[in-house]
Chains A and B, each alone.
Chain A
C-alpha cells in the first residue's frame, strides 16, 4: 500500500467512525425493550376488595390494551412511544415502613423505570421523600391526603388525581344546592387522618358557606370497628339534617347494613363521599335520597366521553363488574405517564427521554382520561386538579343492578380546589378566594 493509499484508508475509517457516531445521535439513544412500571396497590387486607383489586384490574386491562395498541385516541400508539409496558405488581399491605423498603427494592434491585402506587395516605407520605432521595419517578395514584404537595416541593413525585379537599368542599357545595335550607349537620368518620381531615374540611366548608349551620354530632369510631350500634343511636337521637361520612370499604358497608334498617336516612340526608364503590355491591339495599360521591368525576359519575365509554366497556367485559373510582384513578396515572413519555420523546426529537425529561413533561401537563381532562395545576405542576360530581340515589335499575343517580351536579376544578400556592385550610378559612363556581 502506497503512502497515498494509506491516507485514503485512514480518511475512510475516520468518515465511517464519524458517520457511526453521528448516526447514533440522529437515531437517538437506543430505545429500551420495555418500560418497567412498579405498581403498588392493596392485594390483601381490608382495602384490597374495595380499592386495591379494582385498581390492579384497571392496570392489568389498560396496560394490555395499550401494549396491543387498542386504546382510542389520543393513546392509540402501542405501549409508550411504541415500547411495551411491563407491570411489576406489589402488595401495599404491611405498613409504611415495609412500603419504603419495597420501594427501594423496586427502584434499586428491580430497576423499574417508575412506580405508580399507594392507596393509603400514610404510605404516600412515607414513600414520597424516598423517591426524591433516590431520584426515582413516583406517581401517586389514589391516596387522599392534601398534605403531600402543600408541605414540601418535589421534583420526582406526582399525583394524577385530586386530593380529599375536593370531595368534601364539593359535598358541602352540593348539599347547599339541593338542600339550601339545611340547618344542622353531623358526621361519622374513622378516627385517623383520612376521617378527621375529611370531616374537618366538610364541616368548615359548610360553616363558611352557611354560617348559621350547627354541628349536632361528631362521631369518630375506630378504623375497622365494624360495629356501629351506639354511634347510630347517637346520630338518630341528634336528628341532624345531614350526616356526612368518608367511611370506605367494609366499614362503609357495615355502617349501611346496620344503619339502613334503623332508617338513618329517613330524618337525615346521608352523604357518602366514597359512595360510588358500594353502588354495585349493595344494589337495592341502598334507599333513594342518599348523596353519592366518587372522589371526582369517576365511576357512576364519570363524564360521557368516548375514552370513558371505551374504558367502562373493556373493564366490565373482563371483570363482570363496572369500574369504581380507584380503577379510574389508576387509569389517570397510567395515561398521565404515557402522555408524559410521549411528550418528552417528541420534545427530544425521538431520543428516548431521561427520568428528568419525563418529569419535566409531566410537570404542569394537561391530558385526557376516562374521567375527563386532568390538569397538573398545583404543587408546581405536580398535583392534579379535577372537578367533582355528586348525585342522589333515585330508583333501582334492574339492568345495571344499581341505584340510579339523579340531580347529578358537576363542580369544575377551580370551584373545589384551592389556587396554586395557597394551603387548603387557609383557602377554606378565608372563604374560598378565587373559586370559580357555576
Chain B
C-alpha cells in the first residue's frame, strides 16, 4: 500500500514537471503548426536566468521566499524578450513555408541559443538550490519529499488551469481558437493573425523559460540541459496529441505514472518507459490521445 502511495506521489511529481516543460511546445504547435525545436534553448535560457537571479537574490540576504518570485521573474523576462525577438526576427518569415524548413529554422535558433548561453554564462555549472531547500520536507508513506516538489505540482496545475482559462474564457483566447481551426477564414473575418502568432509564440517561450527556471533549483545548471528536455517534451506532446493542451496534461500524467512504477518495480525498464508509452499510444491512436484528424487542404 505504501509502495502504491509512493509510486503515485513520484508519478505526480514527475508528471507535473513534464507538463511544465512541454506545455509551451504544445501550445506553439497547436496555434502556429510549428514544431519549435528552439523550445530546448528557451528552457536552458530560463534555467540559467533563474539560477543566476536566485544566486544574486540569495546573496543579497533578502526575504528568502522571494527567491521563488525571482524564478518567476527570470522566466517571464527571458521568455518575453526571446519570444518577441525570435518570432519577430526569424519565425514570421517562415510562415506558409514547408514544415521541414520551419523545423530547420527553429533548430538553428536552438543552436544559436545554446551558444548564447555558453557565451553569457560560460561552461561552469550554476547552482541555485536555495529555493529547493527553503521549503523544507514533507513525509509521505515514511519517505521524505522536498516541499518544492509539491510546489511544482501547484505551478504546473496553475499553468494548466491558467492556459485553459486563457484559451476558453478570454476574448483573445477565442481568436486563438478560431485561428487554430482555420487561419484563412479568421483573417477574412478580421482577426489580426500576426498579433495572435506573436502573442502565442511569446507565451510559449515564457512557458518554456518557466519550465527551465523552476527546474534550475533541482539540478546543476550546465550546458546541454536543453537537449534532454526537447526529447522528453516531444514524447509528451506526441502521446497527448500534437497541439492539444489537455493531451499534454494527460500525456505527462501517463508517462509520469508509468515511469514511477517502472522505477519502483522494474528499474531496468526505466529507460524505455517513455518510448513504451509512446509506442503503445500511437499503436492505438496514431494521432495521440487527443489528436484530431484534419481534412487535407488543397
Inter-subunit contact B264/A220 (CB<8 Å)? no
Min CB–CB distance B267 → chain A (angstroms): 5
Nearest chain A CB to B87 CB, angstrom units: 28
**What A residues does B259 contact at CB under 8 A?**
230
- Of A174-182, A246-254, A380-388, the one contacting chain B is A246-254
Counting CB contacts under 8 A, is A49 at the interface? yes
CA distance A217 to B2 in the complex (A): 17
B228 within 8 A of A: yes
Interface band, chain B: 35 or more
B270 touches A253 (CB 8 A): no
B257 smallest CB distance to A (angstroms): 10
- Choose from B133, B222, B264 the contact partner of A233 (Cβ within 8 Å): B264
Kindly state whether residue A184 has any CB partner on chain B within 8 Å. no
Judge whether A226 and B264 touch: CB under 8 Å.
no
Contact of A44 among B3, B142, B223 (CB under 8 A): B223
Q: Which stretch (B76-84, B144-152, B243-251) binds chain A?
A: B144-152
List residues of chain A with CB within 8 A of the CB of B225.
224, 226, 250
**Per-residue 0/1 for B106-146: is the Cβ within 8 Å of any A Cβ (1 yes, 0 no)?**
00000000000010000111010100110001000011111
CB distance from B141 to the nearest CB of A (A): 8
- Which of B17, B142, B143, B268 is the most central at the interface, judged by chain A CB atoms within 10 Å of its CB? B143
What's the Cα separation between A250 and B127 when bound, in Å? 10
Q: Which secondary structure characterizes the binding site on chain A? A: helix
Distance, CA A222 to CA B10, complexed state (A): 17
Indicate if the CB atoms of A233 and B143 lie closer than 8 Å.
Answer: yes
Given contacts A230-B10, A237-B6, A285-B129, contact A254 B220 (CB under 8 A): yes
A237 CB, min distance to chain B CBs, angstroms: 6
* A261 sits at the interface (CB 8 A): yes
Majority DSSP secondary structure for residues of B touching A: helix
- Interface flag for B55 (CB, 8 Å): no
A115 and B136 CA atoms in complex are apart in Å by 50
Query: Is A150 engaged at the interface, CB distance under 8 Å to the other chain?
Result: no
CA gap between A163 and B264 in the complex, in Å:
32
Instruction: Give residues of chain B (225-256) contacting chain A, Cβ–Cβ below 8 Å.
Output: 225, 227-228
Task: Give the distance in Å from the alpha carbon of A249 to the alpha carbon of B220 in the complex.
Answer: 9
Indicate if the CB atoms of A236 and B218 lie closer than 8 Å.
Answer: no
Measured CA separation A220–B272 after assembly (Å): 11
B162 in the interface, Cβ–Cβ < 8 Å? no
Q: Which of B14, B260, B263 has the most CB of A within 10 A?
A: B263
Q: Does A308 contact B (CB under 8 A)?
A: no
The 5 A-B pairs with the shortest beta carbon distances in the complex, nearest first, are A253-B220, A230-B10, A230-B263, A254-B219, A250-B222
8 further A-B contacts with Cβ under 8 Å, apart from A53-B123, A224-B227, A226-B215, are: A53-B124, A227-B219, A229-B10, A230-B14, A233-B6, A257-B217, A261-B146, A263-B137
Using a CB–CB cutoff of 8 Å, the interface residues on chain A facing chain B are 44-46, 48-50, 53, 191, 217-222, 224-227, 229-231, 233-234, 236-237, 249-250, 253-254, 257-258, 261-263, 281-282, 285
- 7 A-B residue pairings within 8 Å (CB atoms): A46-B222, A218-B267, A222-B270, A224-B228, A233-B10, A233-B143, A257-B129
